[in-house]
Amino acid sequence: MERLFTGAREVRVRAYRQGFGDCFLLALPQGDGEPFYVMIDCGLLLAAPKQRIEAVVRNIIAATGGTVHLAVVTHEHWDHLSGFLDARSLFNDERGTDPEKLTIERVWLGWTEDPTNALAMRLREERGERVRALSALIESAPAGLGSAPMVEKLLSFFGTDLAARQSRTSLALETVVGLARNEAEFLYPGGTPRTLAGVEGVRVYVLGPPENETLLKRSNPRTSASEVYEEKGLALSPELSFFAAAVGSNDEFATLARPFEVASLTPDEAGTDPFFRRTYFDETASWRRVEADWLEFSGELALRLDRDTNNTSLALAFELVPGGRVLLFPADAQVGNWLSWQDVEWANGVTANDLLERTVFYKVGHHGSHNSTLRDLGLERMRHPELIAMVPVDQGSAARQGWSRIPFAPLLDRLQEKTRGRVLRSDDGEALRDRPAPEGVTASVWQAFQDRVIDAGLYYEIPFPLD
């Protein structure tokens, strides 16, 4: 395998195609001819063999000569983190110097992982509580619980080992922080755009996660913002009361487990009571019983957990030269995160809309699901004629999970239109070279795209000019 070099006036992006998960490598030119390497995420979900992610890490080692200057870890989900554990043996420790292994100089995370930020720590703690409680609930769930498969699969985003009741994602986060030679940095939206040591002209804008708790918890597209249905009040107490009864996870709420201090019958007693035998235990009316219905709330809580975690995504925009092209990496930001960009202010006066207008590479959010690409204030603002979109997705595996709307067909259609057919997917079957021009795209435009992108099987590599 060969090193990945760049021309003096270009940036190269490798989009890895390991499956349902994100991993990107950016090579940016420094004055000395050695590129500055940025790695964004390293994860793979859905029953794929470890070897897939190991192959990706090996490729990165070869391409970089063994050092990435910066690793960006966007959020605590297994499809963005698994490599740091599953391919742990391929990374050098903080002080390790094995040239065959990958060394990480620095690591960037969203402020939502910042141990000195009280809100961040509260959110993380809630996240941990929820994962533990839901895992325990699923383990002992009754057969009739309709939400169980969904909850279990959502927990897989935390690399959850149900038996050990442990989420491996938080371990993976700690691992990557520990691997880096320098202290981890926690990024807040806005302020002064960041620069990369030795790389001239390139500036990195932090768009999200938002510092506003309401937006952090907002998931779905909705055009009217009625106060009534915002869920900000439904914070933890109804949830804890639910878990207290479901898994007895919290002593503080154990006293609330019973709503009345009056006489009641146990199920055994009720089974012999004439009234309940005639009603609840009537065999011909067994279809009306409500044994598991109350536990369906776990589905709602699992979805909330997924949404809240995705919304903590560290969303970055790489501006290649001042006022020039932009590479957009929103991770799995959902609606609330996207919306918050509108209010972010940078010291140099650039706005989120400027960045969207100039976007030439869009890493499609959350494997192309319906709620991770904002329409009017997102994709519709991306008007650059050179726009390319990359969807890290494995539709077959997603469908086997029952996630038949990932990727979301109407979004793919619109991406095709916006990019004039330049949509790359990690699960593309045919080699790019052999793919016919999409409908409405002229042969010469398509030919130029095919010539520009390297399809190496394991990854796509795309050059972007620095001018």
Partner 1 sequence: MTTSPPPAFRRLRAYLFDPGLSGQIDTAAINEATLRVGWEEALEPGPVGEYLEVVDFDPATGCFYPPVDLNDHILLAQDGLPPSEGTPQFHQQMVYAVAMTTIRHFEQALGRTALWAAREYIEAGQFRREFVQRLRIYPHALREPNAYYSPAKKALLFGYFPAARTNPGRNLPGGLVFTCLSHDVVAHEVTHALLDGIHARFTEASNPDVLAFHEAFADIVALFQHFSYPEALRHQIARTRGDLASQNLLGQLAQQFGEAIGTRGALRDALGFTDPATGIWRPHKPDPALLQQATQAHDRGAILVAAVFDAFLTIYKSRVADLLRLATGGTGVLPAGDLHPDLVNRLAQEAAKSARHVLSICIRALDYCPPVDITFGDYLRAIVTADFDMVQDDERGYRLTIIEGFRRRGIYPRDVRTLSVESLRWKEPKLNLPRGSVKRLVDSLRTEWDLRTNREAAFKLLHDNCRRVHVWLSGLGLDEEAQREIGLALDAESAPATLPRNADGKPVFEVHSVRVARRVSPDGQLHADAVIEITQKRMEEGLGRKFKYRGGCTLLIDLHRLTVKYAIVKSIWNEGRLERERQFRGNPAQVSLRATYSPDPGGRRMAEPFALLHRED
Could you say which residues in the range 104-163 bind partner 1, by CB under 8 A? 144, 146-147, 149-150, 153-154
Q: Give me the least distance between CB of 225 and partner 1, in Å please.
A: 9
Of residues 225-254, those binding partner 1 (CB under 8 A): 226-238, 241-242, 245-246, 253
Of 4-12, 98-106, 369-377, 437-445, which segment contacts partner 1 by CB under 8 A? 369-377
CB nearer partner 1, residue 195 or residue 279? 279
Contact between 264 and partner 1 by CB under 8 A: the answer reads yes
At closest approach, how far in Å is the CB of 418 from partner 1?
Answer: 15
User: Roughly how many angstroms between the first and final C-alpha of the chain, as a whole number?
Assistant: 29
Residue type, 200: E
Please report how close the Cβ of residue 21 comes to partner 1 at its closest, in angstroms: 17
Q: For residue 227, what are the CA distances in angstroms to 123, 339, 377, 391?
A: 22, 16, 21, 34
Q: Which is nearer to partner 1, 188 or 297 (CB)?
A: 297
Residue 173 dihedral angles phi and psi, to the nearest 5°: -60, -45
> Would you say 180 or 423 has its CB closer to partner 1?
423
The helix/strand/coil state of 304 is helix
Site for partner 1 in 300-329 (CB under 8 A): 300, 303-304, 306-307
Which span sits near partner 1 by CB under 8 A: 30-38, 175-183, 224-232, 347-355? 224-232
Burial class (CB in 10 A: 0-12, 13-18, 19+), 192: exposed
Supply the minimum distance, in Å, between the C-beta of residue 201 and partner 1.
36
183 or 227: CB nearest partner 1:
227
Cα 114 to Cα 204, 305, 340: the distances in Å are 19, 19, 19
Which span (132-140, 197-205, 297-305, 458-466) binds partner 1, by CB under 8 A?
Answer: 297-305
Sign of CA dihedral 82, 51, 14, 38: positive
Calculated CA dihedral for residues 208, 105, 202, 191, nearest 10 degrees? 40
Per CB under 8 A, 381 contacts partner 1 = no
Number of residues that bind partner 1 (CB under 8 A): 78
To the nearest whole angstrom, how small is the minimum distance from the Cβ of residue 251 to partner 1? Answer: 15
Of 49 and 271, which has the nearer Cβ to partner 1? 271
Q: How would you classify the pairing of strands 326-329 and 359-363?
A: parallel
> Interface with partner 1 by CB under 8 A: which range of 171-179, 315-323, 325-333, 363-371?
363-371
Measured from the CB of residue 265, what is the shortest distance to partner 1 in angstroms?
4
Q: Of the ranges 2-10, 58-66, 270-278, 446-454, which one interacts with partner 1 (CB under 8 A)? A: 270-278
CB of 154 to partner 1, least distance (A): 6
User: Is cis: bond before 385, omega within 30 of 0?
Assistant: no
If one asks whether residue 391 binds partner 1 (CB under 8 A), the answer comes out as: no
The amino acid occupying position 115 is P
Least separation in angstroms between residue 50's CB and partner 1 is: 25
- Evaluated on CA atoms 353, 10, 321, 315, the torsion sign reads positive
User: Binding marks (x or -) toward partner 1, 405..444, rule CB under 8 A?
Assistant: xx-xxxx---------------------------------
> Is residue 52 within a helix (H) or strand (E), and if so which, with residue range?
helix 50-64
Q: Cα separation of 1 and 100, whole Å?
A: 13
Burial readout 433-451 (b: 16 or more C-beta within 10 A, e: otherwise): eeeebeeebeeeebeebee
Residue from the set 18, 170, 371, 419 that interacts with partner 1 by CB under 8 A = 371
CA atoms within 13 A on the CB side of 213: 12
Would you state the structure tokens that stand for residue 207, as one six-digit string? 């768009």
The neighbouring-strand residues paired with 38 are 26, 70
Q: Which helix (H) or strand (E) holds 174?
A: helix 168-179
Using only C-alpha atoms, the chain has a radius of gyration, in whole angstroms, of 24
The only residue of 31, 259, 385, 436 in contact with partner 1, by rule CB under 8 A: 259
Stretch that binds partner 1, among 50-58, 198-206, 223-231, 349-357 (CB under 8 A): 223-231
Binding of residue 380 to partner 1 (CB under 8 A): no
Q: Which helix (H) or strand (E) holds 354?
A: helix 352-357
